[in-house]
Amino acid sequence: MPYATTQAFVLGGQPLKEQDQLVHLLTADRGILKAMAPGSKKVRNRFGSLFELFTEGEFVYYWQEDKEFITISKGEILESYFNIVSQPENIFYFYLMAEVLLKFVPYNHKDKRIYKLVHAILRSRAAGTAIEMILLYFLTWILRLEGMMFNPFICHNCYREKPERVWLRTDFRGILCARCRSNESLMLTADELLYIHWTKDNPPKDLSLWKDKIDRAKMIRIFKRKIEYHGEFALNSSVYLPEFK
């Protein structure tokens, strides 16, 4: 059986047999993988706290051609974000981000930018960036990386550039100017459109610039619904966030 080593973030796990669990890993080189961790449910096991949500580790694994998942033989923690992720004000935001990755990003989808994105948001939260701003930045970039973020400066219908007032199409595929709008009700401000464009070239550590310029809760709800619409699923973790109550 072939062996390999990879660096990865843990996106969660579920019981598999009595003493094992199935773990989801966001790897740096192979995208998201399903991995069996033998014996990891034992009280005393060789993995310790390696499988806490968004822990970054180095994993040695092997696989068989007829199996849909790899098997982890050993691993070690490279960086633990447990003290950040587990805080009551953060935990459900990170649950939602993990759920988005698992439901929206295809398995084995190799895009190193997703790994870098997770690194950036974790470090930004550690530096004190507001968690809701981090979630919005994350949703914006996930849509962009999956090719589903609309152009914030062009009407989807008539291709008019930089219209003064815009509304979001009901299918979330683009914006409409005042001439093309029919019954659309979701309006985006000029600053909110600028924010979408700004995220292309700026890191999350600078998000404080937008703190009082955009309606964060509204944009989080819009992008969450856009992901659900395109992915044809529900993001169940969102019910625990204040933006959806």
User: What does the alpha-carbon distance between residue 113 and residue 136 come to, in Å, rounded to a whole number?
Assistant: 17
**Cβ neighbours of residue 139 closer than 8 Å, sequence gap 6 or more:** 100, 220, 223, 224, 227
First CA to last CA distance, the chain: 50
- Domain boundary (80, 99, 127) is at 80
pLDDT value, residue 45? 63
Q: Tens-digit pLDDT profile for the chain (245 aa)?
A: 688 899 999 999 888 777 888 999 999 888 999 998 877 677 566 677 888 999 999 999 988 776 788 999 889 999 999 999 999 999 999 999 999 999 999 888 889 999 999 999 999 999 999 999 999 999 999 999 999 999 999 999 999 999 989 999 999 999 999 999 999 999 999 999 999 999 999 999 999 999 899 999 999 999 999 999 999 999 999 999 999 98
Residues paired with 23 in a beta bridge: 13, 35
Residues 126, 57: one domain? no
The boundaries of the domain holding residue 195 are 86-244
pLDDT value, residue 1? 61
What would the two tokens of residue 159 be? 């291709």
Residues 62, 102: one domain? no
pLDDT value, residue 222? 97
Q: What is the CATH number of the domain that holds 197?
A: 1.20.1440.120
- Domain boundary (50, 80, 110) is at 80
Residues 106, 213: one domain? yes
Q: How many domains does the chain have?
A: 2
Residue with tokens 């292309």: 200
What pTM value is reported for the model? 0.94
What would the two tokens of residue 7 be? 């660096």
What's the chain look like in SS3? CCEEEEEEEEEEEEEECCCEEEEEEEECCCEEEEEEECCCCCCCCCCCCCCCCCCEEEEEEECCCCCCCEEEEEEEEEECCHHHHCCCCCHHHHHHHHHHHHHHCCECCCCHHHHHHHHHHHHHHHCCCCHHHHHHHHHHHHHHHCCCCCCCCEECCCCCECCCCEEECCCCCCEEECCCCCCCCCEECHHHHHHHHHCCCCCHHHHHHHCCCCCHHHHHHHHHHHHHHHHCCCCHHHHHCHHHC
pLDDT value, residue 79? 96
User: What does the alpha-carbon distance between residue 157 and residue 163 come to, in Å, rounded to a whole number?
Assistant: 12
